[in-house]
Chain A
Amino acid sequence: MTDAALPRSAPTRAPIREATAWDRLKTNRNWLGFWFMVPAAAFLILFLAYPLGLGIWLSFTDTRIGRPGEFIGIENYEWVLGDRKFQDAVFNTLFYTTIASIAKFAIGLYLAILLNHHLPFKAMIRAIVLIPFIVPTVLSAIAFWWIFDPTFSIISWTLKEMGWRTTNINFLGDAWNARWSVIFANVWRGVPFIAITLLAGLQTVPPSLYEAATLDGATRWQMFRHITYPLLTPIIAVVMTFSVLFTFTDFQLIKVLTNGGPAGATELMATMSYNTAILGGKIGEGAAISTAMIPFLLGAIMISWFGLQRRKWQQGED
C-alpha cells in the first residue's frame, strides 16, 4: 500500500512562473517595508506632521474659533513680540526651565549615586522612588495645591508649630513664592525619572576603574569627575534633552497649581498659548506663541546632539 501510494513527480516540470507585479508587492523588500510602515506612518502623518505644519501656517493667519482665517504675514508675530505679557511668559519659561532642570539634574544625579550603593531592600527603594513619576502629574499637582494652600498649608502649620514663623506662607499668591513653588513641584516630579535612568548608566561603570583610582590615591570627587562623569555623559545628554524639552513645554502643573497667576507671574508659553487660542478663541495668535517655542526646542536638541557626537569622537567610533 505504502509503495503504491508514493506520488510520482510529473515527467515534465512546469516552468518557473514569471514574477508578477502582485508578487513583487508581496515580497520586494521596499514594498514590504512600505506595507509594514503604513499604520505608524498614517498616525504620525495625520496627527503629528500635518498638524505641525498646519500650526506654522495658522500662525501666519488671523484664524478665530469658528472662522477660517486669511494669510496676514507676520502680523501675529509682531503683535506677540510686542506684547508685554509674552515677554514675561518667555522670561518665566526660561527661568522655570533653567532652574528646574539644573535642580532636577543635581538632585537626580545625587539620588542615583546614593541608590548605586549597596542598600538593604534596594529593589523596593528603587520601585518606591519612581512612584512620583507613575502617578499622573495632574493628580499629584492637586496634592501640591492642597499642600500649598494659603490658609491650611501643612508646611506653614509645621513651621508655625516649630516656632520658625508666625504667619502662613502665601505659596501661590505671591509672584516669587509662586514661581519657586511650581519649580519645586516640577523638580519633585522630574527627579525620579532622571535618578532611575542615570542609575542604569551608573550600573554599567565597571567597579575596577574605581579600585584602580583608589590605589592611585584619588579622592571621591576626583573619581566622580574623571570616571563617573565622563562615562555617564552620553546618558546625561539624552536624559537632560528630554527633561529640558518637557520642562520647557510644561502645561499641566501650571494649569492646576496657579493657572498662570498671580498676575501672570507663572504664565509659561504653553499656558499662554492655551489661554489665547482655546479660551480667547484667537487661534492665529495662539499658534504664533506655540510656534515661537520651536527655536528654543531646536536649540535644546542640537546641544544634546553635539553632546552625543563628542562622545563618539572621543571613543574613536566612525
Chain B
Amino acid sequence: MSAADSRADITDNREGMSYLDTLPRRVVTVYIPLFLIMFVLLFPFYWMGLTAVKPKEELVDFERANPFWTWAPTFEHIYDLIFKTEYPRWLWNTMFISVVSTILALIASVFAAYAIVRVRYKGASTVGGLIFLSYLVPPSILFIPLSTVVYQYGLFDTPFALILTYPTILIPFSTWLLMGYFKTIPFELEECALIDGASRFQILMKIVLPLAVPGLISAGIFCLTLCWNEFIYALTFINTHANKTVPVAIVTAFTDGDQYRWGSLMAGALVGSLPLVILYSFFVEYYVSAMTGAVKE
C-alpha cells in the first residue's frame, strides 16, 4: 500500500495543484468513498461467484458456517448446469445470435456511415439525424407490434426472429460511432484513389476500412454486449425451450421454487456473464471509447 501511495505522490507532482492535497485528506475524500462505491459495485458478483461454488447444505444455512466464505468449494452446480440442463445449447444460441446480428449490423452501418459522411448525397444530414432518432426508440415500445410482424414474416420461434431484429438496436449506435471515425480520415486519401480510378466501393474496402479498424472493434464489442444483454425480444419471440438465449432461459428454467435452486441460478448467471467479461477485459479501451464516443457526438 505504501509503495502504491508514494508512487501516486510522485505522479501527482506532475499535475498542477494536487500537491495542495495532503495524504490523510486524500484518504478521507478520495480513497474511502471510492473503496465503498467499488465494494457495492462488486459485491453482487462476489456473492454470485461464491454461491455458485458453495456446497448445497451451506447455501441456506448461515448458522454453522460463515456465509461470506466457503472452505469446501464444489463444482457441483456448474457440473449440473452443463450436463443436466440444456445450458450449453442456450449459450450457443446466445453466441450465435449475437455474433451474426453484430456482423449484419456492422456491414449495414459501415455502408450507411460512409455514405452519410463521405458520399454526402442530398439529404445526408437529415438521414443522419433520423438514424440518431431511431436510437432513441426503446425496444419496450416496439416489442408488441414487432411480435405480430415477426409472426407475419414467419420468423416466430426461430433464431432469425432475433438475428433480424437485434440489428435495429445496433445499427443506429454503430452508424453514429463509425461516422465519427470516418470523419477523421483525410479527404486527400480518397481523392488520390478516385484519381487513380478506384470506385467508391473499392475506396471503402481498401482505404477507409483499414484505417477505421479501431472503430469497427469498438462498435463490434459494444454491439455484442448489447445483443447478449437483450431480454424483451428474446422473451417475446422465442417459445421453444431449446431456442432460448441464456438470460431468458435462466429466468424461466430454474424458477421452480426449490430452495437449493440458487446454486444453479448463480452458476448459470456466472457462466453466462464470463464470456462477456473476458472479452471486455481484452478490449477495455475500445469499449470505453465506444461508449464515450457515441455520447460525445
Hey, which bits of chain A sit against chain B, CB under 8 A? 26, 29-30, 32-34, 36-44, 46-52, 54-55, 58, 63, 107, 110-111, 114-115, 117-121, 123, 125-132, 134-140, 142-147, 149, 151-152, 154, 157, 188, 191-193, 196-197, 200, 207-208, 210-211, 214, 235, 238-239, 241-242, 245-246, 248-252, 255-256, 270, 273-274, 277-278, 283, 286-287, 290-291, 293-294, 297, 301
Contacts and interface: CB of A to CB of B under 8 A. Distances in A.
Nearest to A50: B149
A255 B17 contact: no
Contacts of A30: 121-122
Interface string B257-294: 00000100110110011001100110010011001100
Interface residues of B, number: 101
Contact of A290 (B42, B141, B273): B141
Given A40-B111, A188-B40, A287 B145 contact: yes
Nearest to B119: A33
A118 B11 contact: yes
Given A55-B142, A130-B288, A143-B266, A36 B137 contact: no
A43 B167 contact: yes
Interface string B56-91: 000110100001100000000000000000000000
B292 A135 contact: no
A58 B148 contact: yes
A143 B297 CA distance: 35
B45 interface: yes
Contacts of B250: 138-139, 142
A146 B120 CA distance: 53
A129 B26 CA distance: 20
Nearest to B169: A48
A291 B60 CA distance: 44
A239 B296 CA distance: 9
A121 B141 contact: no
For the residues of B in contact with A, the DSSP-based class is: helix
Contact of A129 (B20, B41, B114, B119): B41
Contact of B231 (A41, A55, A138): A138
B42 A128 contact: yes
A18 B111 CA distance: 29
Contacts of B268: 139, 142
4 cross-chain pairs, A with B, having the tightest CB-CB distances, nearest first: A33-B121, A36-B115, A40-B112, A138-B247
B47 interface: yes
A63 B231 CA distance: 24
A235 B296 contact: yes
Interface in B135-150: 136-149
B164 interface: yes
B38 A29 contact: no
Contact of B16 (A123, A154, A211, A238): A211
A207 B187 CA distance: 34
A307 B242 CA distance: 47
B102 interface: no
Nearest to A151: B60
B291 A197 contact: yes
B38 A291 contact: no
Contact of B247 (A52, A139, A145, A273): A139
Contacts of B108: 39-40, 42-43
Nearest to A55: B145
B202 interface: no
A114 B265 contact: no
A287 B134 contact: no
A249 B276 contact: no
A52 B44 contact: no
A134 B277 contact: yes
Given A157-B62, A192-B41, A286-B144, A40 B26 contact: no
Contacts of B277: 131, 134-135
12 contacts: A32-B119, A33-B122, A55-B145, A58-B144, A118-B11, A134-B287, A136-B231, A143-B48, A196-B292, A278-B144, A293-B141, A294-B141
User: Which of the listed residues B141, B200, B228 has the most CB atoms from chain A within 10 Å of its own CB?
Assistant: B141
A268 B159 CA distance: 28
B276 A136 contact: yes
Nearest to A298: B136
Nearest to A146: B262
Given A30-B121, A139-B250, A297-B136, A127 B281 contact: yes
Given A47-B165, A235-B296, A134 B115 contact: no
